[in-house]
Amino acid sequence: MSDSDTLDPQIATMIAALDGGFPPVHTMTGDQARAAIRSRMVTVADPEPVASVEDRDIPGPDAPVTVRIYRPEAAAGKAVPTLVYAHGGGWVFCDLDSHDGLCRDFANRLPAVVVSVHYRRAAEEGQWPAAAEDVYAATIWAADRIAELGGDADALMVGGDSAGGNLAAVSALMARDRNGPRLAGQLLLYPVIAADFDTPSYRRFGRGYYNPLPALRWYWDQYVPNEADRTNPYASPLHAEDLSGLPPAVAVVAGHDPLRDEGIAYVEALQRAGVPVAQCYFEGGVHGFMTMPSLGICEKARAQACADLTGVISRRVTK
């Protein structure tokens, strides 16, 4: 059976158009890539309603960081979990607007207060570890204001997709290492975990599956240009010598993603360190499929990831 035979049927009908239409970001500057990606974004006329949406500037390591706070409709005045969320985009592009729909969905589906972080993006805005420090600063800010946000002090989590999954995993490491906020969980959606471009999944899916190898190399070149820094755990969490003491994780892995193998490797490394992990494996998925709400597999993955995350929180809170 070929790789294309195991693709989700809906994705199979559109993968050629998706892959062919992806801009050659590796030939661009960061600003050019951001403009190219933003030009493709379609504004949703009637976004999913939530109780409230608020943009706020909060203190950052070097300058204010903008966050967007979503409060769920189902909260009804009671404390709910809080998810500090980092969007994907190769550390270079995407923003609060590109992931607005996903954050609204998570806010209502969990339900939770979602704090979406507009971290500094590479390269013109800031290189490693700027984005990681911004997301960690937002995590501290949320922890300090958990009651004001309407959050449960025992249910603060970090999460993100792709490069944002990297930033979420790094924030969890920073919180442990720096005696920071006590986290109840981490949500890692097909995360970037290591700068290894020669895994079997890179070789199999680095062309033709919407997340091309030249772009993936370029993302790392923009964010962590010094290759020696790429083995630092705050850049590549898979290189951490010790993963014990981290919060329970829910990890979504897409079967047709160059990042598949590093995601699985991180799940296994966390498990060896005694960290509880729920792996949500979707063989038919490609990178980014959870931000494609028209797909049935997207709905299934969102539902499973949120259900598993709710289970993680419940077990943590009742201990």
Please return the burial class of 48, using the count of CB atoms within 10 Å of its CB with bins 0-12, 13-18 and 19+. Answer: middle
Full DSSP string of 81-129: EEEEEE--STTTS--TTTTHHHHHHHHHHTT-EEEEEE---TTTT--TT
Answer yes or no: 171 catalytic: no
Catalytic residue among 87, 99, 118, 287: 287
Catalytic residue among 162, 171, 201, 236: 162
**DSSP 3-state assignment of 254?**
strand
DSSP code for 246: P
Answer yes or no: 287 catalytic: yes
DSSP code for 44: P
| Contact predicate 248/312, CB 8 Å | yes
Distances (CA, A) of 231 to 108, 126, 239: 37, 19, 6
Cα 254 from Cα 282, distance rounded (Å): 5
How many other CB atoms are there within 10 angstroms of residue 73's CB atom? Answer: 14
**Residue 133: partners with Cβ closer than 8 Å, 6 or more residues away:** 60, 61
Going through the chain in order, the beta strands assigned E by DSSP cover: 52-58, 65-71, 80-86, 113-118, 151-161, 185-189, 249-256, 277-286
Answer yes or no: 162 catalytic: yes
Catalytic residue among 100, 134, 257, 308: 257
List the alpha helices (DSSP H) in 195-273: 200-205, 213-223, 260-272
Cα 292 from Cα 254, distance rounded (Å): 13
Give catalytic residues, as residue numbers. Answer: 162, 257, 287
